[in-house]
Structure 1
Amino acid sequence: MNRKKIGLGLWVLLVVQIAVGQQKRSLTHADYDGWESLSSAKITKNGLFVGYQISPQDGDGRFEVFPYKNPDQKTVISRASAVSFTPDDAFLVGKIVPQKDSVRVLKLKKKKNDDLPKDSLFIFNLASGAMEKLPRVKSFGIPTEKGSWIAIHFEKELPQKPDPADSTKKAEKPKKTDGTKLLVRSLDGSKSWEFDRVKSYSFAPNGDYFQYTLAEEDTLDNSAVFVLNLSSGESKLVLEKMTTYSDLTFSPQSSNLALIATDDSLKAKKPVHSLYLYDVKSGAISKKLEKTDLKFNQGRISPDGNIRFSEDENKLFFGVAQDYKDYAYAEDTTILDEERVSLDIWGWQDDEIQPMQLKNKSQEEKKTYWSVLDLSSGQITQLTTPEVDNLVLENKITKNIALAWTDAPYRRSYSWDIQIGRDLYWVDFSTGQKTLIEKNASGFARLSPEANYAYWYDGRDSSWVAYDLKAKSKINLTKALPIPFYEELHDSPSLPGSYGAVGWMAGDQAILINDRYDIWKIDPKNPSAAINLTQGEGRKNAITFRRETLDFEERAIDPKAPFLLSAFNEVTKDNGFYMGSLDGKSAPKQLLMTAHNYSGLLKAKESNQVLVRRSTYQDNPDVYLTDLNFKSLQKASNLNPQQANIKWGSVELVSYLTLHGDPLQGLLFKPEGFDPSKKYPMMVYFYERNSDTYHNYRAPAPSRSTINIPYFVSNDYLVFVPDIKYEMGLPGPSAYDCIIPGVQAVIAKGGVDTENMAIQGQSWGGYQVAYLITQTNMFKAAGAGAPVVNMTSAYGGIRWGTGMSRMFQYEQTQSRIGGTLWDKPLYYLENSPLFMMDRVQTPVLIMHNDEDGAVPWYQGIEMFMALKRLNKPAWLLQYNGEDHNLTQRKNAKDLSVRLSQFFDHYLKGAPTPLWMSEGLPAVEKGKTLKYELGD
């Protein structure tokens, strides 16, 4: 026998085996759980270390940390969560959660919660790579600004079981307390303090002090709050023997600790609270405020508000609530619970309808009004009241004024006019005096950094305006400029919004405002001399420039700071970064512009190291390392390597014209190895405009409501996602005029099996599906999730998620009728597919859930019953206890199976699953899923 031929034959066989082994496969529903996503990308302030969380959709995640200069030197911390770099850039800390499969096995064995494994804590030394772990950790905390400390709060200790060899010794009964052991220590372990029965705790932001609250143990006499000096290790008592302690807040430089407490019983219906101010250096309560100290009429100190300090530590802001009301009926103890009347009264004069009142009931019961205590003079000033109840406090309070507003005079119209105005004021913290800026103002106002101006976007005038607080004059910042500042593609009956304001230059010298493409620097003292900082390059080239925030703590824009811009080309969808000039003397300089999507840019606080995520439809949104020059990008993460073995496909940008001749774009997703000479079934999905997501990565995932595009593409479907432009009063015809020409444009490109096309959409998309199948029979199957089919009944319905009437949706927003039911009855009828259901020839799969908070689920019932009455093939999936989009993963997995089975049957000729052919009788509910395929 020829040994050479034997060797060649073995080599050929080996090559064939390798090729078979490397053959790509289609996605299955089993792939979802292991598909990874990346979150919580972080970089130390000095830029030396980087980390991020990687999590599968279902299972155990991990945190990867590595030196910026050496991404290959990764330390992987399995099952890590809630991870943070410490303020000194020396450690990484976080929790390690129990292994999910282990917990599941124990739950199947009906183990009690106390017997389940608990979280651990890890402390990772970035320099040495040493890892320390502590078991049974409930929570942990570190300072936010500086310091090298950690507080570790442990789970309660398990009771000691008696020694079985000693029958005389009984197990000790544990003392009753909500507190558990707390360890406070330096991160290097050189200093530590341990405290028992701690209930809550926090560090001062600068890491100088630490407060902890001791829970009572059998008696309130031993409940207390202490402050620990982290330099000396001395703990001092702040307050003791109170029933509750809340809102414990350090001042910015740790000079004071404020808190609210009461010694009334937990069962008290009307507990009285006091506000305490503790002087940290003297170790004594320096101020106690009680109800009698308040100037607010019938007010009380509220534990439901927030406590804030001004940055200079001279002002303490706190919440005041109106005093408790007495209700004779509620207090009458001679009435049995079953005798009490329970009803809702809807009054025409009410500002809010009853469902909205009930939705907001808890919030309203806890409503508070801001007061301020001047720590120098001791003066208390009431800042907001029921008449003017909203105060806009900045993140860092540095000025003696703030803006306040109320929409109470206009609130009654909110059910149908969601763009109601508000009366706008500025408030003096010293006197509480409110000075009117504008009645019925359109927009939400903010204060400039130096408090010289209030500014907002006036939707009614489509302009940005400022109000000079000293001159008491209103300034139109943009009206004289030659381009629009309203949303140019806005196509609903509401007032168009803006493209946003960037921020103010230092000293309130100018404000930066976006138009559709460019960025303008506008001096409020001379708006007509505004400077286009991007020199019109954006509008000229259809590129949207936006400033990237590099310092998230900035109050004003530093003229010496880098003016980094993101850039997005509306036509090609290319994305990247430019460097601009804050003086406007030079055009933006391109740093990077590629056919990708860039997101999540993060700069180290004290260096130029930068993290950014980059993706396409085919490439996962991995983390890349670069600097502010963007000359090179180094890939750091490697999400989902298993994708290399899966048929993934590609996406193509499709341009087409509507039936009215308007240019639009859409996205065509094509199976891997697409051959235009073959014929592929096609799914069509739509929701408003999606073409700008051309380079977005789409992960395989269970369906919350819509088809998962990667799954269908991987299983040899074409998927087309067209943009839609709407005409007022004609939402249904607009959908037809945009979607059908888009589908025809794709058909003209080749490769579409025109006998096997389907449409699917959710919510507004579900409505459009329902409308389209009354107008055309070109689709072989349809899926409509949460569809509105009867605008006349939906108009008077309720959005149960918010308690709002649905009127606004038809008069002003997405449904785009632009008038009331009695003003435009024919528009409501002609855009309602329910009245044309007799035309439907397309089998439909409807999903509408019984706790839908956006679209009343009787809309899905109306559609289903009409089709059933007309003897048309239709199925209604109603997931019990589910909202508008599915929230429970088990249900999302179920929907994914049923969607694929439904469309595979109609578009690929797959056997009918039993749930379609036989249904699921109520007596079989919960006993079988009926995924099995028939003959």
Structure 2
Amino acid sequence: MRFRAATTLSLALLAAPLAAQQPGKRVLTQADWDVWKSIVGTTVSPDGKWIAYSIAPQVGDGELVVRATTSATEYRVPRGYIGRPQLVPNADSSWTAPPPQWTADSRHVLALTYAPRAAFEQARRAKKKPADQPKATLAIVSVADGSVDSVQRVRSFRVPKERSSVVAILLEPTDSAMAAKPADSTARPATAVAAATPGGQPRPIAADTGTKRGKKKDTGSTLVVRDLGGAAPAATIADVMSYAFPDSGGWLAYVVSSKSGEGDGAYLREIGSGRTVTLLSGAGEYRELAFDRAGRQIAFIADRDEFAGAKPRYALYHAAVGSPAREVVAEGALGDMVVAERGRVSFTRDGNAVVFGAAPAPMDSVPADSLADKAVFDLWHWKDARLQPQQRVEASRDRDRSFTTVWQAKTGRAVRLGSDSIPRVTVSDDGRVALAVTSLPYAVESMWGEGGSDVILFDATTGRRNVIKQRSPFGATLSPGAKYVVWFDSGSWRSYDVKSGARANLTASLPVRFDQEGWDTPSTPAPWGIAGWTTNDGSLLVYDRFDVWELDPAGKRAPRNVTDGAGRRDSTVLRVVRVDEDERWIPADAQLLLRAFDDETKQSGFWRDRLGATAPPERVVMADVAFGQPMKAKGAESWVVTRGTFVDFPDLYAGSSLASLTRVSSANPQQAQYAWGSVELVKWRSDDGVPLKGLLYKPAAFDSTKQYPMVVYYYERLSDNLHQYVAPFGRNVINPTHYASNGYLIFEPDIAYIEGYPGPSALKSVVPGVQALIDRGFVKRDAIGLQGQSWGGYQTAYMITQTNMFRAAMAGAPVANMTSAYGGIRWESGLARAFQYEKGQSRIGGSVWETPMRYLENSPLFSADRIHTPLLIMSNDADGAVPWYQGIELFVALRRLNREVYLLDYNGDGHNPRKRANQLDVAMRMQQFFDHHLKGAPAPDWMERGIPFLDKGRDQLAPVTAATPGPKPATTQTQATPGTGAQSTP
């Protein structure tokens, strides 16, 4: 391989650059990150006149915003700390509060609000118990005048989809709950009510209402029921454990669980009259309340009749709404299985069947003290479908596993479909047919190969099964009307007629590919996907790379290109937008809304087309922006969508059409104070002549007559992100917004891969792109850095073994030795790592004994003596994806060679740091590292002398400010280019 001395670079300036910076603009520092806000949880009122969303800062307290879509009327309610408090070191910081909910009449919006962040921090420092932590408040906002009705100490709330203004609010238990219960305003019998057995006879009730089993019974708290419109009577119900509305909202179901057991049971309350109906009562646990879609039936599980036993068993109960429940599936009805305590309960779409879980009878636990004098070990068996680490990771799921079972209302028969070998089953809308896709027969093989899945069709009324496809590479799907099963195999869409058993290849005659032609891993290319089905399973809509196709699932009608080839002709990817989550089918003559993305210019927008029409699709809007997923009001032609660019935050826009939108939010007005960069789309060719694209982020007030330091960052292909806004924040990857504000160029090149040579592929793609930018004159050739994380971290480590073009490099979670990594474990999932190399992202394409030289040649460790670039490594000891010893292997090798190298290990943190302090710290040290090597800033103490173990925790960095440019004099080094005798110099 030979590096090109010069490479032609063509630029496409596709994003409107920010105007020249005015004097006085501030450079972004890490101290500024926390004030940047996100818009989360956007909802649209059913009448389309209002939107509600939350503004959440990176750190701090959020705000609920209720905004009119056609005027400037806006209400704001403090929402407190809506990011999850980090009460433990590895708390998931991505959690946000649930979105606001609208009443069906659009007059009120409800949202949980929380205590300020300072209150959570104080509770954490005081080590308060969960019961003493700050509790949520329910804010009920009236859109008529913005008034807020607050309900304190709320655990949860629900509003029905269709009832105008009813809300149920479950409160947190109070300190005095054990001593004195709130008055119960509902009228219900205090005595237990017997349920009818399947034969119609009453079943005796356990006489003892106390708890004899080992585990403690959970108790409920107060439920408040209100009609915000005042039409229905209010209620306060004590000791409620769970509750549910049907979509219609005419009834409320709830479970009572008290400390004494008195009044325990499942109940219905009629919203309009306040009438209470006892479904079932008596001491016990009642779970999984489920209504059918029409709100006429209810089902649940309970262990009332065996609650006093050491191992109580659950039964399934069913009732017509307004009537007592009867037991329909009890112990013994499922053979050696029982009704699963943790299984979900639901009705099929038409209400003819109930789907629930069956499970083996619970086993006795093994007392810990019984193992004190016994050998405790794991046995790894070569025939195990799952390795021991995977079994350990999935142990909790396995303990709570349940198998899909269907109770047919018409016959009263329960049929178990699922099993250990068939863990997941999809039941049809009418409950008569079910489809299972199981990969278990190929589980061992999938540890290194592609595996596959068997596709099994069930008669859900009898349990009879038919294996209709073996080793399907991408599973299968059942049509909404259960007339067809479809799957993708050998480049074609295929169908199976459920009634006749007829099979058809639906796309064999077409000259286009329906698999992803750009697929570049050593595995079978996946299909582009399914858009949906038309009414009564009449047609199947699928995608090729650009267009939408209509296929006859029976294989009789000729396929039709719905979008008339316009997508391929214009290099524009067209995808159907579904805005109604309850839509079962797409009408056969529907007007389709199409999301559009220009693969060349990276413009995005929306088109429209009509099924069955011959006219080509029409453009609604296309622009140099990134549009989000559009939302439409349920009862009006009112649209809300985000749109943004690298310069413009993706605020909310609303209008009666996607072609005519008005901005209705302003989340980050403070951005105007800061120096902000711009971005361009750049093009070049790899050393193999492959056309490539990439992104070049430029500093604020960029001057092409000056030279700038540059950091190169990569991960597969990033050029589609041209118009994506990147908020300034700290993590273990380069933030182009922050670095551009601080005077850096950031280059994000796409990479074209050749199977078996992932390292050289990166080199052949990245280096020519960098050289082309150097040739333009504004890049300081002796001040270029590399940075990558995970797969990008590996590529960073590899490339610096092949060239000295780069002044400094940072590799996060790199694989250094593919031979040792091949036999490792991904500890987060428990999976073997072999598949990563033979079929996955690492792209080796064979085992370590079949293709040993590929493993050796692609491993940075075996060429570590050729590394002269200063390297910063991050390898965390709780990394569940890349073994942290991979970073250690590279560090130890470079230390042995006396090369400049540092390794950061954030104790107890994972592949990407989750603890915020660690995120900030790695970002700070990475910038200090690059500022020193690329700008000539003084080296910080940790680079000069390290941090001794006994000083651990004492070295806490202050936020990094902009470094003064002025790189150190370059030390020119010469390196042999891999595979040739040619020399490469920076």
Take 2:161 and 2:959, find their aligned partners in 1: how far apart are those partners? 55
Whole-Å separation in 2 of the counterparts to 1:110 and 1:837: 48
Alpha-carbon distance change, 23 to 359 in structure 1, aligned in 2, over 3 angstroms: same
> Are 1:251 and 2:285 matched, yes or no?
no
Paired position in structure 2 for 1:589: 618
Give the TM-score taking structure 1 as reference length.
0.91
The answer to whether residue 432 in structure 2 is matched with residue 400 in structure 1 is yes
State whether structure 2 residue 56 is matched by structure 1 residue 55: yes
Matches of 2:918 and 2:288 in 1, distance apart? 39
Q: Does 1:67 align with 2:101?
A: no
1:648-727 aligned within 5 A = 648-703=676-731, 705-727=732-754
Q: Give the equivalent residue in structure 2 for 1:11.
A: none
Q: What residue is the counterpart of 1:87 in the other structure?
A: 104
Contact 1:248 1:259 in 2 (8 A): yes
Q: Distance in 1 between matches of 2:261 and 2:168?
A: 25
Structure-2 separation of matches of 1:545 and 1:210: 43
Choose which of 248, 269, 272 in structure 2 pairs with 1:228: 269
- The question of whether the paired residues in 1 share the 8 Å contact of 2:69 and 2:655 is answered with no
User: Which of 310, 313, 316 in structure 2 is aligned with 1:272?
Assistant: 313
Compared with structure 1, are the counterparts of its residues 381 and 856 closer, same or farther at alpha carbon in structure 2 (3 Å cutoff)? same
Contact 2:495 2:554 in 1 (8 A): no
Letter in 1 for 2:167: I
Counterparts in 2 of 1:930 and 1:310: CA distance versus 1, 3 Å: closer
Q: Which moved more, 1:907-916 or 1:643-652?
A: 907-916
Could you tell me which of 436, 451, 457 is aligned with 1:420?
A: 451
- After superposition, the C-alpha distances for 1:121-176 in whole angstroms (9 at most, x for unaligned) are 111122343321122222212113434211122222244999xxxxxxxxxxxx99
Instruction: Name the residue aligned to 1:290.
Output: 330
Q: Deviations over 1:763-804 (max 9, x none)?
A: 000000000010011111100000001000000000111110
Distance in 1 separating the partners of 2:537 and 2:786: 53
In structure 1, C-alpha distance between the alignment counterparts of 2:955 and 2:401, rounded to whole Å = 48
* Partners of 1:452 and 1:469 within 8 A in 2: yes
* Structure 1 residues 535 and 314: alpha-carbon distance in aligned structure 2, compared to 1, 3 A threshold: closer
Task: Find 1:372's aligned residue among 402, 406, 413.
Answer: 406
Q: Distance in 1 between matches of 2:379 and 2:305?
A: 35
What's 1:16 paired with? none
Q: Kindly state the Cα deviation for residue 409 of structure 1 after the two structures are TM-superposed.
A: 2.1
Aligned counterpart for 1:536 among listed residues 522, 540, 565: 565
Give the whole-Å Cα distance in 2 for the aligned partners of 1:132 and 1:687. 48
SS in 1 for 2:350: coil
**Unaligned residue ranges in structure 2 (runs of 5+):** 1-19, 81-96, 180-215, 965-986
Residue identity matched to 1:832: S
Aligned partner letter, 1:312: D
Q: What is residue 807 of structure 1 aligned with on the other side?
A: 834
- The corresponding residue for 1:170 is none
- Alpha-carbon separation, structure 1, partners of 2:395 and 2:21: 63
Deviations 1:632-652 (A, max 9, x none): 221111121111111111001
- Other structure's SS at 2:26 match: coil
**CA 1:33 to 1:868, structure 2 compared with 1: closer, same or farther past 3 Å?**
same
CA distance in 1, matches of 2:902, 2:822: 25
State TM-score, norm by structure 2.
0.87
Name the % identity. 39
| Contact 1:534 1:584 (C-alpha < 8 Å) held by counterparts | no
How far apart are residue 324 of structure 1 and its match?
Answer: 4.2
Query: Which consecutive residues of structure 1, in runs of 5 or more, have no partner in the other structure?
Result: 1-18, 163-174
* CA distance in 2: counterparts of 1:656 and 1:21, whole angstroms: 33
The aligned counterpart of 2:37 is: 36
2:149 aligns to what SS in structure 1?
strand
Which of 235, 249, 265 in structure 2 is aligned with 1:207?
249
1:97 aligned onto 2:114 = yes
Determine the C-alpha separation between the residues in 2 that align with 1:817 and 1:112.
51
User: In structure 1, what is the Cα distance between the partners aligned to 2:644 and 2:344?
Assistant: 41
CA–CA distance in structure 2, aligned partners of residues 156 and 409 of structure 1: 48
Moved more, 493-502 or 551-560: 551-560
Structure 2 distance, partners of 1:512, 1:818, is 33
**Residue in 2 that maps onto 1:447:** 478
SS in 2 for 1:464: strand
CA gap of 1:52–1:659, structure 2 versus 1, over 3 A, is same
Q: 1:227 deviation in Å?
A: 1.7
Residues 494-542 of structure 1 show CA distances to partners (whole Å, capped at 9, x for unaligned) of 1111111111111222211110011111123346721111111211121
Measure, in 1, the Cα distance between the counterparts of 2:913 and 2:286.
39
Give the alignment of 1:526-565 within 5 angstroms: 526=555, 529-565=558-594
User: Is the 2:437–2:475 contact (alpha carbons within 8 Å) kept by the matching residues of 1?
Assistant: no
Structure scoring higher RCO (CA < 8 A, sep ≥ 6) equals 2
Q: How much has 1:311 moved relative to structure 2?
A: 3.0
Deviates more, 1:736-745 or 1:399-408: 399-408
Aligned-residue offset at 1:450: 2.1
Check the 8 A contact 1:262/1:272 in 2, yes or no.
yes
User: For the Cα contact (< 8 Å) 1:147–1:208, is it kept in 2?
Assistant: no
* Superimposed CA distance per residue, residues 715-735 of structure 1 (whole angstroms, 9 cap, x where no aligned partner): 000000000000010000000
Shift of 1:95: 1.3
Please report how far the alpha carbon of residue 275 of structure 1 lies from its aligned counterpart in structure 2 after TM superposition. Answer: 1.7
| Cα distance between partner residues in 1 of 2:711 and 2:740 | 9
Give the structure 1 partner of residue 882 of structure 2.
855
* CA distance in 2 between partners of 1:311 and 1:660 (Å): 55
- Equivalents in 2 of 1:266, 1:894: separation in Å? 53
Q: Is the 8 A contact 2:319 2:326 kept in 1?
A: yes
Residue in structure 2 matched with residue 390 of structure 1 by the alignment: 424
Q: 1:769 to 1:462 in 2, by over 3 A?
A: same
1:261 to 290, 302, 306: 302
Structure 2 counterpart SS, 1:293? coil
- The answer to whether the 8 A contact 1:531-1:584 is kept is no
1:876-931 C-alpha deviation (Å, 9 max, x unpaired): 11011111101111110111111111111111111111111121111111233256
What residue identity is the alignment partner of 2:867? V
Counterpart CA distance in 2 for 1:527 and 1:575 is 36
Q: CA deviation at 1:189?
A: 4.5
* CA 1:913–1:299: 2 relative to 1, 3 Å: same
| Matched ranges for 1:173-192 at <5 A | 178-189=219-230, 191-192=233-234
Please tell me whether the aligned partners of residues 474 and 526 of structure 2 are also in contact (alpha carbons under 8 angstroms): no
Asked if the contact 1:214–1:223 (Cα under 8 Å) also holds between the matched residues in 2, the reply is yes
1:765 aligns with 2:792: yes
Residue 863 of structure 1 deviates from its aligned partner by 0.8
What is the one-letter code of the residue matched to 2:301?
A: I
Q: Which residue of 2 aligns with 1:7?
A: none
Secondary structure at 1:529 match in 2? coil
Question: Alignment RMSD, CA only?
Answer: 2.5
**1:756 and 2:778 equivalent?**
no
* Aligned residue-pair number: 889
Asked whether 1:303 is paired with 2:331, we answer: no
Q: One-letter code of the match for 2:472?
A: A
Q: How does 1:782-793 map to 2 (within 5 A)?
A: 782-793=809-820
In structure 1, give the amino acid aligned to 2:407: L
The reply on whether 1:344 has 2:386 as its aligned counterpart is no
Q: Is 2:930 the partner of 1:903?
A: yes
- Measure, in 1, the Cα distance between the counterparts of 2:788 and 2:53: 34
Distance 1:279 1:23, change over 3 A: same
CA deviation string 1:80-138 (max 9, x = no partner): 75311112222101112112234434654666655554321111122343321122222
What is the CA distance between 1:180 and its match in structure 2?
A: 2.3
